[in-house]
Chains A and B, each alone.
Chain A
């Protein structure tokens, strides 16, 4: 079973602050996704990264994939209360049958106004 460690587990910050969430594995990902989930809803895909060193931006969110494709980070600039939610990274390894994803433990973010 592949393990995917996500940190921090919880983050409570003030509006306007910056934050970074990390996702790490000892194995090389074939691809990695970041999702955001609000209470009582399913996760919503934010981004997929597949190339080592890749950087993708989504408004105030910046996603980075490590050169060795073993880690990824999500950076939020000037966080807003609307960013509050559960952020999940999910990775796929090799040519696993069915392309199943393994999810990290999640980072629960609260942005206070």
Chain B
């Protein structure tokens, strides 16, 4: 199998607080994980690529100081939205690759963030 979990499933927070989202590969080791953002009725937009043990690679326009990514192990990557604001409200989805070869990504169930 290739199961990816995310926690929490949804979170509501006040403006100015920081929120951490976890992404775990449950039955495989993921050398690379990806973080996406999805606005209502839109497609997925890649935010960053996370490799275990190294710094994440951020897509153009994504603030790395605002969206902190830590890929501390082969089964866990975290995304921390710092000083969240209402415009950060979105559906955040992570995915993981099983190995260095191939392009298939397996997605987590997503985390809905609402910033009041």
Contacts and interface: CB of A to CB of B under 8 A. Distances in A.
Partners in one complex: yes
Interface of A: 6, 30-31, 33, 35, 40-45, 48, 88, 90, 92, 97-106, 108
Contact of B103 (A44, A99, A104, A106): A99
Contacts of B104: 33, 45, 48
A45 B5 CA distance: 15
A53 to B, nearest CB: 19
- B interface: dominant SS: strand
B43 A88 contact: yes
Interface string B1-30: 000101000000000000000000000000
Interface string B67-98: 00000000000000000000000010101010
A44 B107 contact: yes
B3 to A, nearest CB: 11
Given A42-B110, A44-B107, A103-B44, A98 B102 contact: no
Contacts of A33: 103-105
Contacts of B51: 98
A42 B107 contact: yes
Nearest to B10: A40
